Structure 1
Amino acid sequence: MRPESADDGGSAPVLVAVAHGSRDPRSAATVAALADEVRRQRPGLDVRVSFLDLSAPRLPDVLAGVAAEGHRAAVVVPLLLAHAFHARVDVPGEVARAARRHPQLHIATAGVLGGSPLLEAAALDRLTAVAGPLDDPGLGVVLAAIGSSHAPANAAVAQVADGWLRRFGWAGATAAFATATEPTVPQAIAALRRQGAQRVAVAQWILAPGLLPDAIARSAHAAGPDVLLAGPLAAHPAVATLIAERYASTLDTPVASRAAG
């Protein structure tokens, strides 16, 4: 999909960011702030926000609006950190249905945000804000994620923690999860202390505040007043840059086929 061939006026395809959604209004507010940061970095780019569930507007409604306005192309960018169920099933399903309803609208789907050094840079920046310089051999770090029934998604978080451990030479680093699998945050903190960590910090591999991130925070605080807790990735400039990169890389790939049947 090339930007110059997208719309009749030669304008670029619309960027439709899609997040999971949450009953917690802080989540939608964070996604809106992240979209604002993308617009700040990419003036003139048409950025829309949508959700899969629990928050509005929903992805089908946003794509319907884009089509109704006469746009010819859109790129859906999943604001998901792993290629788990939502990325493998929910987003493709919604895009396929939208393509059938709006055959005049070419819809491409970008990759998820996970797997990029920019995402790690944002998480490390949040960690530094609470833990200070990261060249501390006495530091133990928990990289806390929501957790998934899709084992490769959990393994990807563990790989990030392992990479940080090799890079910084801490006393330890481990992934932990709020749901679906173990270790839990308290289990991970206890393991790091057994390994000799003199300080423990919890970094969040999570985009926005919500009910499960709150549970992670409670677990961290319950483990002791000395446990440091970094904030979620939120509207970090590096995350916004990554969204724009995912969008741009999709422009150089073939247009998503209009799902048949």
Structure 2
Amino acid sequence: MVPTMVLVADGTRDARRRDALHGLAEAVSDRREVPVCTAFGTRAELRDIVQSTAGPLVVVPAFLAGSDTASTELLAGLDLGGRFDACMTAPLGAVPSIVGQLIARLHAADWRPGDGIVLAVDGGLELSNDTEHRQVLDVARMLSRRLQTPVQIGYLREWAPSVTDAVARLRRNGHERVAVAAWQLVDGAELAELQDSGATTVTAPLGPSPVVVETLLAQHRAATARLAA
């Protein structure tokens, strides 16, 4: 029996983001590889969906490591201890396929060799999520190495520097053009704010591209193998 993929993210913030999350789920479902259900709501809704889903299941984060504090906290509250037919995957992070998709988004947004890059991430991560913070640092290093240009990390909220400050820093360092690379899987109101950061260009979110869909399915396949072991 193929385990159900339960896609999880916080979907309570804005309708634009909820629509984008459901669009991502539809793209995964359209591959006809696994049954898909969604948990894009509160912690109680997530618990109810997991408890009511019969048979084996794999909980898959529908967000990137370090990109979404609310979703990280939502997933952290899920207890699968009573389900021996269930497991959870980690959020997508600094893996070649996802970083390659981010580079493709930069090229699509008219990034040019030599332009500075700001990697725009959520911010507000707690110390307990240091693994996700390291993933963000690794993504920035991978981008800088592959594109041979400086990459600054800018935060959408709480942490410093802000995306706007990171853009300004690169301009002071001699980069007339600066691209903001949005480290986000789906669209939402927060991404609209990046247009006011002073950047030359801003990338679209990474999903629901075929690369993202395939990477989510690859995580599901690996988790399915662990359940069968």
Q: Aligning the two structures, in what range does the TM-score lie when normalised by the shorter sequence?
A: 0.7 to 0.9
Query: Quick check: 1:234 aligned with 2:212?
Result: no
Unaligned runs of 5+ in 2: none
When the two structures are superposed, what TM-score results if normalisation uses the length of structure 2? Answer: 0.85
d(CA) in 2 for partners of 1:216 and 1:154? 21
Deviation at 1:87, TM superposition (A): 7.3
* Structure 1: distance between partners of 2:224 and 2:2: 9
- Cα gap change, 1:53/1:124 in structure 2, threshold over 3 Å: closer, same or farther? farther
1:39 pairs with one of 7, 19, 29: 29
Partner of 2:62 in structure 1?
79
Question: Which one is further off, 157-166 or 25-34?
Answer: 157-166
User: What's 2:125 paired with?
Assistant: 149
**Structure 2 equivalent of residue 91 of structure 1:** 75
What does residue 109 of structure 1 align with? 88
Alignment map for 1:1-261 (pairs within 5 Å): 11-41=1-31, 43-53=32-42, 58-67=45-54, 72-82=55-65, 90-96=74-80, 100=82, 106-132=85-111, 134=112, 136-137=113-114, 139-150=115-126, 152=130, 153-170=132-149, 172-218=150-196, 220=197, 223=198, 227-254=200-227
Pair 198,88 (structure 1): closer, same or farther in 2 beyond 3 Å:
closer
1:55-82: per-residue Cα shift (whole Å, max 9, x none)?
Answer: xx93223223323xxxx21111012322
Partner letter of residue 225 of structure 2?
D
**C-alpha contact 1:87 1:112 (8 A) present in aligned 2:** no
The alpha carbon displacement at 1:204 in A equals 0.2
Q: Which amino acid aligns with 1:179?
A: R
Unmatched tracts of structure 1, length 5 or more: 1-10, 256-261
SS of the equivalent of 1:95 reads coil
Identity %: 26
Amino acid at match of 2:99: E
> By how many angstroms is 1:229 displaced?
1.1
Q: CA deviation at 1:254?
A: 4.4
Letter in 2 for 1:62: I
Quick check: 2:86–2:227 contact (8 Å CA) kept in 1? no
Instruction: Supply the distance in 1 between the matched residues of 2:122 and 2:170 (Cα, whole angstroms).
Output: 20
Confirm or deny: 8 A CA contact 1:14 1:75 kept in the other structure.
yes
**Secondary structure, in 3 states, of the residue corresponding to 2:34?**
coil
Structure 1 Cα separation of the partners of residues 133 and 195 of structure 2:
19
Which structure has the bigger radius of gyration? 1
Please state how far the C-alpha of 1:85 moved relative to its aligned partner: 6.4
- Residue aligned with 1:181, SS: coil
Shift of 1:217: 2.9
* TM-score of the pair, normalised by structure 1: 0.76
How many positions carry a matched residue from both structures? 225
